[in-house]
């Protein structure tokens, strides 16, 4: 990889496709989004964007697998390298002081063709206790498209319902086979435009036929209790992320929610940030509420002068249409399914086109002690 000269100007840049292999099938929704000729479900159902996180694969992969690569002045760079070489210009001094030369957030395109395994991620407190990390894995799902598979409407499993029997659930986790456990979670049908936040420790599973933008704290810690994961037998170490079974069980939040309570806690409603003749900018997930990230949605038809008064960097994904990103004498053409980065040091940025863009902001530079966050 190249080295970025300190004399090079800071400007927006594109990320290259970064498809990640998983055990589950999917990905055709990403191919369809990008209008690719081959629209197939494979074992590459995710594309990691602005990633400084190595994938926690259930199979052997080379070191650095999962890290994003970007195009800058016609050359390729590893994204973590770019942040390390020009940290303050890329991320801002306060962010670097708080989080180091990393974005502090991970973004993905994800498409499921099957029901993913029931799983759970740690919150910050559990991550500190069990993984020696300040990051948990609270995540958000922005539903882009859905499709029926085998006549089944797309859905999510999220949080325990009143059928929870902790003793049976814990035993099925230890045995690695769910017979009753899945029925103990709420089943929520979803449609394009729905937005959910899944807090650390909340059990969940993504159902078949969903294409989404997924935003999360920057880790890949996950407890997947089932032994047989799409034909691959997982060892206890892989199932429980290297923890003892007792510690893994401790990560689950056994709170029982009514359907109304789980929707009220996790479903998000958009609020308008700015509206012009050429478009509208909405806030889908607010940092003041979730703390770990913010997600905005920009819908434009024409020219949009981006308001950079809030000093931060931004990660953008075009999920419909096409735009041109202009900053100074630099221009980027971004098509549907492609992603880009707006560095902290930008003073001006104009977007032109007809498109829908998901914009991800990092956690605030100043926040509560993560060990006390949920």
Query: Is the pTM higher than 0.75?
Result: yes
Whether residue 283 is found in the same domain as residue 144: no
Same domain as 200, residue 52: yes
Q: Which of 266, 287, 308 is the C-terminal boundary of a domain?
A: 266
3-state SS, the chain, equals CCCCCCCCCCCCEEECCCEECCCCCECHHHHHHCCCCCCCCECCCEEEECCCCCCCCCCCCCCCCCCCEEEECCEEEEHHHHHHHCHHHHHCHHHHHHHCCCCCCEEEEEEECCCCCCEECCCHHHHHHHHCCCCCCCEEEEEEEECCECCECCEEEEEECCCCCHHHHHHHHHHCCCCCHHHHEEEEECCCCCEEEECCCCCEEECCCEEEEEEECCCCCCECCCCEECCEECCHHHHCCCCCHHHHHHHCCCCECCHHHHHHHHECCCEEEEEECCEEEEEEECHHHHCCCEEEEEEEEEEEECCCCCCCCEEEEEEEEEEEEEECCEEEEEECCCEEEECCCCCCCEEEEEEEEEEEECCCCCCCCHHHCC
Residues 231 and 283 in one domain: no
Q: Do the domain assignments include residue 372? A: no
Give the end of a domain, one of 266, 291, 319. Answer: 266
pLDDT digits (tens, 9 = 90+) for 278-295: 999 999 999 999 999 999
Query: Has residue 3 been placed in a domain?
Result: no
- Same structural domain, 284 and 252: no
Give yes or no: residues 195 and 259 share one domain: yes
Domains held by the chain: number: 2
- What was the pLDDT predicted at 350? 97
- Residue 45 domain boundaries: 13-266
Average pLDDT, the chain: 93
Q: Are residues 232 and 321 in the same domain?
A: no
Same domain? For 173 and 280 the reply is no
pLDDT at 365 over 80: no
Task: Give the confidence band of 53 by pLDDT, cuts at 50, 70, 90.
Answer: very high
321 and 280 in a common domain: yes
Query: What percentage of the chain exceeds 90 in pLDDT?
Result: 89
In a domain, 5, yes or no: no
Q: Do 181 and 131 reside in the same domain of the chain? A: yes
Residue 369 placed within a domain: no
CATH at 257: 2.60.120.10
**124 and 227 together in one domain:** yes
Same domain, 255 and 282: no
Give the whole-number percent of the chain exceeding pLDDT 70: 94
Whether 112 and 215 share a structural domain: yes
């Amino acid at each position: 990889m190249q080295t970025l000269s300190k004399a090079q100007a800071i400007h927006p840049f594109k990320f290259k496709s970064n498809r990640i292999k998983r055990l589950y099938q999917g990905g055709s929704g990403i191919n369809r989004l990008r209008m690719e000729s081959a629209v197939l479900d494979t074992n590459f159902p995710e594309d990691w964007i602005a990633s400084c996180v190595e994938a926690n694969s259930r199979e052997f992969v080379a070191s650095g697998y999962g890290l994003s690569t970007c195009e800058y002045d016609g050359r390729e760079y590893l994204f973590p390298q770019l942040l390390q070489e020009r940290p303050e210009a890329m991320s801002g001094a306060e962010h670097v002081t708080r989080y180091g030369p990393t974005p502090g957030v991970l973004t993905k395109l994800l498409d499921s063709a099957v029901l993913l395994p029931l799983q759970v991620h740690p919150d910050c407190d559990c991550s500190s206790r069990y993984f020696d990390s300040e990051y948990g894995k609270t995540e958000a799902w922005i539903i882009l498209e859905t499709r029926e598979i085998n006549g089944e409407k797309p859905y999510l499993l999220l949080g325990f319902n009143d059928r929870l029997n902790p003793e049976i659930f814990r035993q099925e986790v230890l045995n690695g086979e769910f017979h009753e456990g899945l029925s103990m979670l709420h089943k929520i049908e979803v449609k394009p435009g729905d937005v959910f936040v899944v807090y650390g420790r909340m059990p969940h599973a993504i159902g078949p036929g969903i294409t989404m933008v997924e935003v999360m704290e920057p880790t890949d810690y996950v407890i997947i209790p089932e032994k047989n994961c799409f034909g691959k037998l997982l060892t206890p170490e892989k199932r429980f992320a290297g923890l003892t079974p007792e510690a893994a069980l401790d990560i689950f939040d056994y709170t029982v929610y009514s359907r109304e309570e789980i929707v009220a806690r996790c479903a998000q409603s958009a609020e308008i940030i700015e509206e012009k003749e050429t478009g509208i900018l909405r806030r889908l997930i607010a940092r003041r509420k979730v703390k770990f990230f913010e997600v905005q949605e920009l819908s434009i038809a024409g020219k949009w002068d981006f308001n950079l008064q809030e000093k931060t960097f931004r990660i953008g994904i075009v999920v419909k249409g096409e735009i041109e990103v202009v900053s100074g004498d630099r221009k980027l053409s971004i098509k549907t399914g492609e992603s880009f980065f707006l560095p902290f040091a930008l003073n001006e940025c104009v977007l032109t086109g007809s498109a829908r863009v998901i914009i991800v902001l990092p956690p605030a530079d100043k926040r509560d002690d993560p060990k006390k966050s949920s």
